[in-house]
Amino acid sequence: MIGTFQSIFKIEELRRRIFYTFALLVVYRIGGHIPTPGIDATVLESFFAGSAGTLMGMFDMFAGGAFQKATIFAMGIMPYISASIIMQLLGAVVPYIQKLQKEGEEGRRKITQYTRYGTVVIAALQAYGTAVYLRSIVGPTGQPAVTMSGLTFIPLTILTFTCGTIFIMWLGEQITERGIGNGISLIIFIGIIARFPEAVLEEAQMVFAGTRSIFVELLMIIMMIAVIAAVVLVTRAQRRVPVQYPKKVVGRRVYGGQTTHLPLSVNSAGIIPIIFAQSIIMAPATVAQLFPNVEWVNNIITYWFTPGTWIYNVLYGVIIIFFAYFYTALVFNPLDLADNMRKNGGFIPGIRPGKRTAEYIEKILTRITLPGAVFFAVIAILPWVLMSQFRVQYFFGGTGLLIVVGVALDTLQQIESHLLMRHYDGFMKKGRIRGRSY
């Protein structure tokens, strides 16, 4: 393993990509500490002190702690993710978007451009709602969190937050193109793990203060390790469908005649359903910020979208399962796969080529996606149970853990592909880290 890490820095291109990625992530973390003008940070900190287990705490996790501090990156990358969701949903129902998806690189550029426009609109709306919400915050002593007048503060905050989101979007795109890839996922990843030292320190203080027994703490550590192992196992799990290619005689040479397999992942959608579900579940609360004085809107948010309630847990789990199937259908087309197999003479033993093969693959994919989706839904809901029973930090489970493990595996796969391409050993001596489609 040590030799593998040494090999990473022997490859000039890979070394340059890693340093470039690291530099942009440092810029992102620095921006997360630049305050927005007109906000009293002391009042804001006291107001958000107990929001670790609320929807605001969840939103702050995706923003890397910038939301509770109301910094220039308070909106985080979630508006871009929301815009991406909308574009992918439109791609399933709008013929023009479907046409762009099939036009290759040119179509992808057009879709990216529309996604950017959508990001600006969504970020501006969320920034307005957040600005109105910040003006309503009052500290324990009655001191308001906003020190400016509304006519000045709201336009300035909309401009600041929107520009912050656009800059984060640009950072993610640069990491994807010039870094080690998965730029948006890495930005969310670094925002989550940035809170790890603070969470560990709070856990240690609770043990030393006697508010939590060492036995419970050890039990939580064992549980966390077990959950991580289970997430890695399910993430890499595959159903291998045997595929056979007949022999072909070309001149004096014989080609084919081999038996291989088609790897169908239990989690073909990766962490995308988790991120999509977070955007959907947080959208009503964002809309409610636009109407702070409307009682029935706040009642709906309190009843349906308060983390920890059974209604919220069930709704969140259902959304995760839905997006797991939805995104798998987007990235994996059994008809195209069956057609490519037929053109190359491949077939699944006992299954007729063409439509029957596509139906067979789709049937298997539908069955293996369900346990994977249910597993990740349970893991995503787990932190609310842990917080209510053991007062464990939100970092130690659920959505944050799934994203951290998933992005870590994908990043390792990206680095390993560079190593193997240049004839270096990868991280795994037996087997390989398998990436996922995004």
* Choice between 344 and 116, residue whose per-residue pLDDT is larger: 116
67: amino acid identity, one letter: F
More confident residue, 90 or 383: 90
| pLDDT: which is higher, 138 or 371 | 371
Confidence class of residue 144 from pLDDT cuts 50, 70 and 90? confident
Cβ 321 vs Cβ 327: under 8 Å = no
Position 436 scores a pLDDT of 46
How do 238-244 and 259-265 pair as beta strands?
antiparallel
Structure-block tokens of residue 230: 């289970």
CA 401 to chain centre: 10
Number of CB atoms found within 10 A of residue 25's CB = 20
Mean pLDDT of 124-144: 83
Backbone phi, psi, residue 37, to 5°: -60, 145
- Residue 437 pLDDT: 42
CA distance 330 to 317: 20
71 close to 65: Cβ distance less than 8 angstroms: no
Give me the count of residues in the chain: 438
Q: What is the pTM of this model?
A: 0.75
| Residue 127 CB burial class (10 angstroms; 0-12, 13-18, ≥19) | buried
Mean pLDDT of the chain: 79
Give the model's pLDDT for residue 166. 94
Q: Are 292 and 132 in contact (CB under 8 A)?
A: yes
Q: How far apart are CA 170 and CA 176, in angstroms?
A: 10
State yes or no: pLDDT of 426 exceeds 70: no
**56 pLDDT tier (thresholds 50, 70, 90):** low
Q: Is the pLDDT of residue 255 over 70?
A: no
Domains of the chain and CATH, by start = 2-421 (1.10.3370.10)
